[in-house]
Structure 1
Amino acid sequence: MRKGIQILILTVIIITFYLFGFNFFGKFGGTLLSIFQTLTAITIGLAIFMDNRNPSSTLAWILVLALFPVVGLVFYFLFGQNYFKRRKYDKKAEQDQEAYERMDRNGRAAAGELAQFSPEHQKLLRLSQKVARTPFSMATRTRVLTNGEETFSSLLKELKEARHHIHMEYYIYRADEIGREIQRTLIEKAKAGVEVRFMYDAVGSIGLSKSFLKEMADAGVEIGVFGAVRFLALSSRVNYRNHRKIVVIDGKTAFMGGLNVGDEYLSRNKAYGFWRDTHMLVRGEAVRSLQIIFLQDWKYVTGRTIMGLEYLSPDIEPSCCGAVQILPSGPDNETSSLKNIIFSMITSAKKSVWLATPYFIPGDDILTALQVAADSGLDVRILFPAKPDKWLPFLASHSYFPALLAAGVKIYEYEKGFLHSKLLIADGEVATVGTANMDMRSFHLNFEVNALLVGTDSVNKIVSDFERDLLSTKPMELRAFMKKKIIVRFMESAARLMSPLL
C-alpha cells in the first residue's frame, strides 16, 4: 500500500478516536486518549527525525505534533512529507540535468571568459555553474522592467509580434482585465498558426475557470497544469508549487521576474494600492536556458518532449558587458542551489549588501551571514513592505528584525504600496532578481527561477531603482520593537516557531 494512503487512513483513525474514543471507552477514555496522543506524536516524530531534515524544521514539526497531534498529523500529511518529493522529483532532476548538459559548452564557461572577472566574481560564477547546472552567458542583453505598466506593455508588444511559438508559465494567472487581454492575444496568435503553450500552477491559479481555459484550448492553445490533483486539499502535492514566471517568444525573447498575471500587479487592487515589483526582459543566449526550463516543466506535466532547434537557437548578442546566468531551483535540486548562491553573494561582498523581499524567513545561515556582514562594517540594507499581504509570514519576518538591527543592519519599511520585488545586490556590481523570496519555501519547496547578473547595465538599473524606493520608506528602529505589546511579540515569536513549515 502506498505510504500516502497509509498515512491518510491513520489520520482518519486518529481523528475518529479523538472524536468518539472518550464516549466509547467511558471513564478510561481520557487515559487512553492521552496514551494514544503520546504514541501518535512519538511515532510520527520518529519518522521525521529519521528523515534527516534541517534541525529547525525537525523541531518545529515535532513540537506541532506534540501540542496538536490531530491537526499536526493532518498538516504533516499535506505539507510535511518528503517521500513525495523524492519519489516524484528525482526523475525530473535527472532529466533536467541531461537537458542542461546538452547546452553549449556542456554548461561550463571557457577559462578565458572567467579571467576577465575579479577573483570574487570568478568564485561566484564557478559556484553558480556547479550548483545551478546552467552556463553563464556573455552574449545576452537584459532590460529591467519596473512595475506592472512597463512589464505588461512590453509583454503584450512582444506577444503580438510572435511568429513561431509562445511559451508561457505562471504561478498565478487571473481571469481579470489584464488576464483577459493576454488571453485574447494568445487566442489570436494560436488562430494565426503560432504554437502557443500555456502552463499554470494548480494552487496559485486555482481560480481559473474551466470555461476560461476551454476558450484557449478551442482556439488551439495547448494547456498544461503543474501539480494537478483530483483532491487538492487532501494531497501532499499542494506543498510543492511552481512559483516560476516565464514567457519565451520564438526562442529569441524571454520575460522572467516577480510579476504574475493579475490586475493587482497593475496597482488596480485597492487593498494593496500601488504594487512595486521588478521583472526583466532577456534577449540572446540566456533565452535558451529559460526555454529549456519551460520545456522540461512542460515535459513533466504533459509527458511530451519538445527539443527541436527551432526552439533552442536564440539570437546571440555581441559580447560586451557582463555575465548573465539563469538559475533554476526547486525540490528537484538537493543542493539548495539558490540559497547557496545568495549566501556566497553575502559572504563575499566587500562594501554593501542590499536586499528587497516581501517575505523574510531566511534560516540561520543567511541570517548569520547578514549579521556578520553588518558587524564587519558593510552597508547592509533590507527593503520590506510596511503592510502585509499574508499575516503569518509578515509576523514571522518581524521576529528576525531585532537581531539584525542590533547588528547594524538597516531595515526600511516601504510605505508607498506593497513591495513585491525579490532582489539582492552585492557591492553594486552583482545582483540576482527573479521569482524567489528570501524564505525557506523559495529555498526548499517551490520551483523558482532567478537571473544572476554580474557587471551588466541591468545591475545599475536595479541599484538606481532600489535607491529610488528608499525615498518611499521609513527606517525601522530597534527601540520600537522593544516597545511592542507583549501579545504582538508573542504572535511574532509563535509565527517564527512555525517559520520552517511556512
Structure 2
Amino acid sequence: MWDLITEHLGKLLIGINYLLALGAAFTIVLRNVNPNRTLSYVLALLLVPFLGLLFYVFFGQEYRRTRIFKKKNVLNQENIKNWQQSLVLDQKQIDELKDKDLRDKAKLIRLLHDTEHSPLTLKNEVEILINGEEKFKRLFEDVGKAKLSVHLEYYIIRDDEIGTELIDLLCEKAGEGVEVKINYDYVASNFSSVTRKRLQEAGIIFYPFMPVYFPKFASKFNHRNHRKIAVIDGEIGYVGGINIGDEYLNAHGKRYWRDTHLRVRGESVGVLQFHFLLNWDFVSEEDLVIKDEWFVEPEITGKIPVQIAVSGPDTDWAHIMEAMFVAITSADDYLYLTTPYFIPNDEILMALIAAARSGVEVKVLIPGHSDSWAAKYASFSYIEEMLRAGIEVYLYDKGIIHAKTMVVDGIFSTVGTSNVDYRSFNINFEINALIYDEHIAAKMVNSFNNDLQESIKLDPEEWYQRPFKQKLKESFCRLWAPLL
C-alpha cells in the first residue's frame, strides 16, 4: 500500500491541490467581489499548482466584517462615551461651517461623521511637515517635553540610527515616569534582542501587531498595520506617511526620500488617541482601562475642521477609498493627487477620468523610480488611459516619492498612510486626516507644485509610442494588479 502511494505521490498531491483549489475558487466566485480580482485569484489557483493555493491562503482571505478587533471594551467605557458625545456638533457649529463655505463638501463630511468614529472636529491647529527632517525634529521636541504619556503606532520602527535616537529618548522619558506604549507591525518593523531588552528594562510596554512566521519573507502578508500615529500627552498628534527609519532622513548621500506628515493639536488628537487605544486593546489582549488624562480638552485658538478616517478589514466600509471617491467626484476646479503606489480600482480610476473629461484640472504625481518592479509597471499600465482623458501625469524624478496626499478645489486636503491601491483600500489598516481649510489647501498646492519641479511631465504622444516590450511588462503586471 505504501509503495503504491509513494509511486503515485506526485499525482496524489496534484489531485489534492486541485481539489482544494476548486473549492477555494468556488468560494471566491460566491463572494461577488471585484471581477478582476476574482479572475486573478482563480487563474493563480488553477494555473500555478501549490504556489497558487499558498498565495490564496496568505493573501486571498477576506476578513472585512468579521471584526478582528474586540472594540466593546473601549467603546463601553463611560469616559469614552462622554468624550464622543462632546464632539457632536450643535446647530450653531453647523451654521459656522456654512460660513466657511464647506457646503460643497457636505457630502464628504456626512459620509464619515456618523460611521466608524470619524467625527468632524472643529478646534484644531495643523502643521504640514515636509520630509523626515522636519517630522523627526518636531516629534523629538514634543517627546522630549512629554510629562504623562507617549503612544506610538507605526508600520516601520527600526533600531537604526534615527530609530535608536528615538528609543534612547523614550527610555529616558520612561525613566522620568512617562508612560510609553509602542505598537509596531511585526512584519515591517525590526527590533534586535538588545533593543527589546532595553525597552523592557526601561519599563516601556511594546507589542507587535499580528505576528507571522518568517517575517523577512512575508513583506506582503495580508492585514498589516500600515498606520503611523504618535500621540504625546493627549495634546499633540502626528499622522502621515513617514515611518521611523533612516531612509527618511535624506542624509549620508542616500537616495532622496520625499514624504509628507502632519502635526496636529486640538480635538482631532483625541480621535487619533481613540484609534490608537482600539488597536492597543487588540494587540495587548488585556482589558484596557481608559485614563481621563489620555483625552485632554485642547487649549488652542485654531479653528481648522479635521476628520480622521480609518479603514481596515474590521471596518464595515472602505472609508478612505470612499472619501477619496467623493472628493474626486465633487471636485469643481482642480484635483492634485500624489501617491507612491497607483493601482486604482475601477471606481477611483473612473472617477478621475470622469472628473478630467468634465473639465476639472486633474494632475497625478507618481514615482518615476519605485522599490517594486511589479508595482511600477502595474502603475504605468493606467497612464495611457488617463492621458487620453486629459489627466496630466507626472513622474517624480528626484528620488522616491512616498507622500500620500490629495488637495481639491482650494478647500479640501488629505494626508495619511493610504496609497491608491487595492491593498490600502481593502487589506491593510490605514489612517488619513481629512482637512477642510483654505490656508492648509494653499500650502498643499504649493508643496505639490514644488514636487512638480522635480518631476517629468509625460507627453501623451511620446507615451503612446513607448516600446512594445514595456507595454508587455505593463500588461503582465496589470493582470496581477489586484494581488499586489
When the two structures are superposed, what TM-score results if normalisation uses the length of structure 1? Answer: 0.88
Q: Which residue of 2 aligns with 1:50?
A: 30
Q: 1:501 to 1:254 in 2, by over 3 A?
A: same
Shifted more, 471-480 versus 324-333: the winner is 471-480
Q: Report deviation, 1:464.
A: 1.1
CA shift digits 1:270-302 (9 cap, x unpaired)? 56x211110111111111001111111111000
Match of 1:295 among 265, 277, 280: 277
CA shift digits 1:425-477 (9 cap, x unpaired)? 11121011011111111111111111010025322221111111111111112
Q: 1:46 to 1:160 in 2, by over 3 A?
A: same
1:208 counterpart letter in structure 2? F
Matched, 1:24 2:27: no
Q: Which residue of 1 aligns with 2:152?
A: 168
8 Å Cα contact 2:223/2:428 also seen in 1: yes
Q: Which residue of 1 aligns with 2:121?
A: 137
1:240 counterpart letter in structure 2? H
Q: Report deviation, 1:483.
A: 2.5
Q: Report deviation, 1:490.
A: 1.7
Size of the aligned set, in residue pairs, is: 475
Match of 2:46 among 66, 71, 79: 66
Q: Report deviation, 1:418.
A: 1.0
Q: Which residue of 2 aligns with 1:258?
A: 241
Match of 2:432 among 446, 450, 454: 450
Q: Report deviation, 1:329.
A: 1.5
1:266 counterpart letter in structure 2? L
1:190 counterpart letter in structure 2? A
Q: 1:226 to 1:132 in 2, by over 3 A?
A: same
- Local SS of the residue matching 2:239: strand
Q: Report deviation, 1:264.
A: 0.6
Shifted more, 112-121 versus 422-431: the winner is 112-121
Q: Report deviation, 1:138.
A: 1.1
CA distance in 2 between partners of 1:326 and 1:102 (Å): 19
- Local SS of the residue matching 2:207: strand
Matched, 1:281 2:266: no
Identity score, percent:
38
- Local SS of the residue matching 1:355: strand
Shifted more, 208-217 versus 171-180: the winner is 208-217
- Local SS of the residue matching 1:103: helix
8 Å Cα contact 1:330/1:448 also seen in 2: yes
Q: Report deviation, 1:210.
A: 2.0
Q: 1:49 to 1:119 in 2, by over 3 A?
A: same
CA shift digits 1:192-219 (9 cap, x unpaired)? 11111111100111x3212212111111
CA distance in 2 between partners of 1:73 and 1:395 (Å): 25
When the two structures are superposed, what TM-score results if normalisation uses the length of structure 2? Answer: 0.92
Q: Which residue of 2 aligns with 1:193?
A: 177
1:198 counterpart letter in structure 2? I
CA distance in 1 between partners of 2:259 and 2:38 (Å): 34
2:239 counterpart letter in structure 1? M
Match of 1:313 among 296, 321, 330: 296
Q: Which residue of 2 aligns with 1:92?
A: 70
1:261 counterpart letter in structure 2? I
CA distance in 2 between partners of 1:21 and 1:64 (Å): 30
- Local SS of the residue matching 2:317: coil
Q: Which residue of 2 aligns with 1:354?
A: 336
8 Å Cα contact 1:263/1:269 also seen in 2: no
CA distance in 2 between partners of 1:485 and 1:457 (Å): 43
Q: Report deviation, 1:238.
A: 3.1
Matched, 1:216 2:194: no
Q: Which residue of 2 aligns with 1:184?
A: 168
CA distance in 1 between partners of 2:474 and 2:115 (Å): 34
Matched, 1:374 2:356: yes
Structure 1: segments with no counterpart, 5+ residues: 1-19
Matched, 1:81 2:58: no
CA distance in 2 between partners of 1:236 and 1:411 (Å): 29
Structure 2: segments with no counterpart, 5+ residues: none
Match of 2:93 among 110, 113, 118: 113
Q: How does 1:202-241 map to 2 (within 5 A)?
A: 202-205=186-189, 207-229=190-212, 232=215, 238-241=221-224
Q: Report deviation, 1:163.
A: 0.6
Q: Report deviation, 1:421.
A: 0.6
- Local SS of the residue matching 1:411: strand
Match of 1:242 among 225, 229, 243: 225
